[in-house]
């Protein structure tokens, strides 16, 4: 599939029609184990579904093709994928992490992995010199999001890749917000890409899944495969099937997500009730020019801060179409309050320092009619006046 265009890879990657039946969809191999005809000779190489399952294998091959990596690995959640990647490191190792990182990533580092001796340091990765000056012999990786969650800040992927290679450390990027449809970090020199596939890749708010992809020539494929098999947080066959189905429509969904987002941003930046809009796909955003060099669009996530005199609580209570909910990336529009939801695990002083105010709202724009979404925002803003 390497010579096919991306939209074709989405539909045909990872699997060819079943040889026995001609089925055009990946079969759901709902089995835990496989018959062995002779001792030490598994049928087709399959032994036990924690180690490998044909449905999951098709998904893993698909995401590796889409991200341009050597191998892909499917996990039971995005946090399971991130945790497996963090298990590549040893006690005493330090990881530099984007200061504006997803709360769950911060929590697992701060509350779980530090108990086993892994160290981390938050750094403003939007300025490459901040990363460079923090690197010493203990630093073994740089972990970033771009755009970040929830302030949509942009980090130079090529620059991070160059720094990591210069110092012989790994570069890791959470590509959940952009998906490989809009941004492919491995092609820019990054070593590992992770996804919460629950979001845009699944696309329908009906599964929980995580993915990790490693670049060619890193020697990481066997190591991550060992961790996946040993710790066992694998994605089940039915969810693997659902995720493949979701990925097939990623291109058409993302086109609609992005066009809706651009319309909403154009409205919000001129709305007096809104103090600031965060969206790297708009020319007014500080990360706009850099984002254009590494992604095809600005994505479908935006955040905005209400002006003084407007209540976030009342705004959220008065939305009729847009739903207040955790998560993002589904066909329906979802809004959340980062300070009390996705980033509540980050201490208040750190939230304040990095710019996550109590008036900040994060919007995952769905594929509804954009004018209906704007109408819903307008009436909720009016109702939120203090």
Residue matched to tokens 């062995």: 36
Q: What is the pLDDT along the chain (386 residues), one digit of tens a residue?
A: 678 899 999 999 998 887 788 899 999 999 999 999 888 888 888 999 999 999 999 999 999 999 999 999 999 999 999 999 999 999 999 999 998 888 899 999 999 999 999 999 999 999 999 999 999 999 999 999 999 989 999 999 999 999 999 999 999 999 999 999 999 999 999 999 999 999 999 999 999 999 999 999 999 999 999 999 999 999 999 999 999 999 999 999 999 999 999 999 999 999 999 999 999 999 999 999 999 999 999 999 999 999 999 999 999 999 999 999 999 999 999 999 988 887 777 788 888 777 888 889 999 999 999 999 999 999 999 999 97
As annotated, the residues of the chain forming the CATH 3.40.640.10 domain(s) are 6-245
CA nearest to 338, candidates 314, 362, 316: 362
- Residue 343 has a pLDDT of 77
| Cα distance between residue 156 and residue 128, in whole Å | 8
**Which residues have a catalytic role annotated?**
50, 102, 174, 199
Indicate the angle between helix axes 237-248 and 250-268, nearest 10 degrees. Answer: 60
pLDDT at site 368: 98
Question: Taking the domain 252-384, which CATH number applies?
Answer: 3.90.1150.10
Nearest CA to 306 out of 268, 340, 274 is that of 274
Instruction: Delimit the CATH 3.90.1150.10 region(s) of the chain.
Output: 252-384
Determine the angle formed by the axes of helices 370-383 and 250-268, rounding to 10 degrees: 40
The pLDDT, as a whole number, for residue 71 is 98
What CATH class has 6-245? alpha beta
- pLDDT at residue number 42: 85
């Amino acid at each position: 599939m390497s010579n096919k265009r991306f939209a074709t890879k989405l539909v045909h990657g990872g699997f060819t029609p079943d040889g026995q039946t001609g089925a055009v969809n990946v079969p759901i191999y709902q089995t835990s184990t496989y018959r062995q005809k002779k001792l030490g000779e598994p049928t087709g190489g399959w032994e036990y579904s924690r180690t490998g399952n044909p449905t999951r294998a098709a998904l893993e091959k698909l995401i590796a093709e889409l991200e341009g990596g050597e191998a892909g690995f499917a996990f039971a959640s995005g946090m399971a994928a991130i945790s497996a990647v963090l298990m590549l490191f040893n006690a005493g190792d330090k990881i530099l992490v984007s200061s504006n990182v997803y709360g769950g990533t911060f929590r697992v580092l701060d509350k779980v992995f530090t108990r086993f001796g892994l160290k981390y340091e938050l750094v403003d990765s939007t300025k490459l010199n901040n990363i460079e000056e923090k690197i010493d012999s203990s630093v073994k990786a740089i972990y970033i999001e771009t755009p970040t969650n929830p302030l949509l800040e942009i980090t130079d992927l090529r620059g991070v890749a160059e720094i990591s290679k210069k110092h012989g450390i790994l570069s890791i990027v959470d590509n959940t917000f952009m998906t490989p449809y809009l941004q492919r970090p491995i092609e820019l020199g990054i070593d590992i890409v992770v996804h919460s596939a629950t979001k845009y890749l699944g696309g329908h708010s009906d599964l929980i899944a995580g993915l990790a992809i490693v670049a060619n020539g890193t020697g990481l494929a066997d190591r991550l495969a060992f961790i996946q098999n040993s710790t066992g947080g694998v994605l089940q066959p039915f969810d693997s099937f659902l995720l493949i189905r979701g990925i097939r429509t990623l291109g058409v969904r993302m086109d609609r997500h992005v066009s809706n987002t651009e319309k909403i941003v154009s409205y919000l930046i001129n709305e007096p009730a809104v103090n600031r809009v965060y969206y790297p796909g708009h020319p007014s955003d500080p990360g706009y020019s850099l984002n254009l060099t590494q992604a095809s669009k600005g994505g479908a996530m935006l955040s905005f801060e209400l002006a003084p005199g407007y209540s976030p609580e009342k705004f959220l209570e008065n939305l009729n179409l847009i739903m207040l909910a955790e998560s993002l990336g589904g066909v329906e529009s979802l809004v959340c309050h980062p300070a009390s939801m996705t980033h509540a695990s980050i201490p208040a002083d750190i939230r304040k320092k990095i710019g996550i105010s109590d008036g900040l709202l994060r919007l995952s724009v769905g594929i509804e009619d954009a004018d209906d979404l704007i109408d819903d925002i307008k009436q909720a803003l009016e109702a939120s006046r203090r």
